[in-house]
Amino acid sequence: MGTAVSIDVADPLPAAAVTAMIDDVCAWLHEVDGRFSTYRPDSEVNRVHRGELTADGFSPDLALVLQTCADLWRETDGYFDAYATGRLDPSGYVKGWAVEVASARLAAAGSAHHCLNAGGDIRSRGHNADGKPWRVGIRHPWLPDKLSWVLSLSDGAVATSGTYERGDHVVNPRSGTPATGLRSVTVVGPDLALADAYATTALAMGESGLAWLARLTARGFTSAVVTDDGRAFTSDGLPVAA
């Protein structure tokens, strides 16, 4: 399974510099894939899963991700669970984390204005090439060529978790069965790794995720949600474009 990545660098930099930045992002994402993919037999995650690797042999990135997954498991009272499917699979965190780190690498390399989109997880900084905030649409949960909301972002992250692409792939850890109730959860906030984890968590909770998401606004994370039966909900402060 591959994930498409779109990289939009809007800084007025020489083409060679931008190309080097983009190459670095691609190399980083390939490194993440090699380490964390459950589809690659020799990934570090699969080696842990098979018992071939123990904690003293973890790479720093794996240790960081697993520790953060444990923290999220506590924070969400078990609804974010890297073992929800019955085996270690930290993908719900890794997707967003990888792009958050990629954006940080771009910033360190001198890009103050960029927008990354990896499989629907978006991290932006600054403004687009027209000098305007980045306009990010949220894919309509039933109509693939339509949008349900348009957001306006400068520095920020947008993560969407939903059932319309890969079906019922998010499991409710309490029941062990696919989560139902919410069709699409989008979380907007300062950190894509957390936004991604929170979106996945809310999807796992089902309709009770609505109240849980509302509490995140106090920490700067806003949400847009569509339920299976077509109701829509948004947080106060969701950065909807004018």
Q: Which of residues 82-121 bind another protein (CB under 8 A)?
A: 95, 115, 117, 119-121
Q: Does 52 bind another protein (CB under 8 A)?
A: no
Select from 19-27, 56-64, 101-109, 205-213 the region that touches another protein (CB under 8 A).
Answer: 205-213
Q: Which residue, 53 or 85, is less far from another protein as judged by CB?
A: 85
The residues in 145-164 that bind another protein, with binding defined as CB under 8 A, are 145-151, 158-164
Task: Report, in Å, the least distance between residue 31 CB and another protein.
Answer: 18
Q: What would the 3-class secondary structure string for the chain be?
A: CCCCEEEEECCCCCHHHHHHHHHHHHHHHHHHHHHHCCCCCCCHHHHHHCCCCCHHHCCHHHHHHHHHHHHHHHHCCCCCCCCCCCCCCCHHHHHHHHHHHHHHHHHHCCCCCEEEEECCEEEEECECCCCCEEEEEEECCCCCCCEEEEEEECCEEEEEEECCCCCCCCEECCCCEECCCEEEEEEEECCHHHHHHHHHHHHHHHHHHHHHHHHHHHHCCEEEEEECCCCEEECCCCCECC
Q: Which residue, 2 or 14, is less far from another protein as judged by CB?
A: 2
Q: Does 208 bind another protein (CB under 8 A)?
A: yes
Q: Which residue, 57 or 237, is less far from another protein as judged by CB?
A: 237
Q: Does 134 bind another protein (CB under 8 A)?
A: yes
Select from 29-37, 39-47, 82-90, 215-223 the region that touches another protein (CB under 8 A).
Answer: 215-223
Q: Does 40 bind another protein (CB under 8 A)?
A: no
